[in-house]
Amino acid sequence: MLERIQYWDDNIINWVGRLHTPILNKIMIAISTLGSKGFIWFAICIPFLVYRPWRMTGANILVGLSIAHIAGELIIKHVVCRIRPCNKLEDDELIVKRPRYYSFPSGHTTASFAVVAVTAFRCQPAVSIPILVLAFLMGFSRLYLRVHYLTDVLCGLVLGLLCGFLSVEIFNHLF
């Protein structure tokens, strides 16, 4: 079963690799860079934390991001230890610096969808829909840049949603 999944992951990575163009490369690098260390998500939290009526939502997002980081980056990545697809490529095939850590699940995608889950419950569609679009772009950028397999991104999506929902449930019970 795992061999079949790896076969499909490899084929999808190769297919997405055919989409590369100089302009799209720059766009995907920019989107992915925004997600590095959760930068964009912390930046999005600032107005929530500053504006008193939205403060709980901002705190809820931060808790969701924290749960996602602990689950994905500190636990699951080190249990699964999946090698990144970029480690199968030559240096001249890469358009970004080779990440140091394991591949599964995608941390960028996990964080993104933790924020999606919280905003889906706490915010109007005018806020949550652009965040959803950015989260999908973030996940795709990781696949496009060949630093994650599709299953890394899809599992990051599911894990992020679960972490965000857990954060919402915690806040519903505490406040």
Averaged pLDDT, 158-164: 98
Which pTM value belongs to this model? Answer: 0.92
The region, left, alpha or beta by phi > 0 then psi within -120 to 50, assigned to residue 97 is beta
Does some domain include residue 53? yes
Give tens-digit pLDDT for 77-127: 999 999 999 888 776 678 888 888 899 999 999 999 999 999 999 999 999
What is the pLDDT, as a whole number, of residue 37? 87
Domain total of the chain: 1
The residue range of the domain holding 85 is 26-174
Q: What is the DSSP letter of 82?
A: P
Does some domain include residue 4? no
What is the pLDDT, as a whole number, of residue 91? 65
Label residues 4-30 b or e (16+ Cβ within 10 Å = b): eeeeebeebbeeeeeeeeeeeeeebee
Distance between CA atoms of residues 139 and 136, nearest Å = 5
Does some domain include residue 2? no
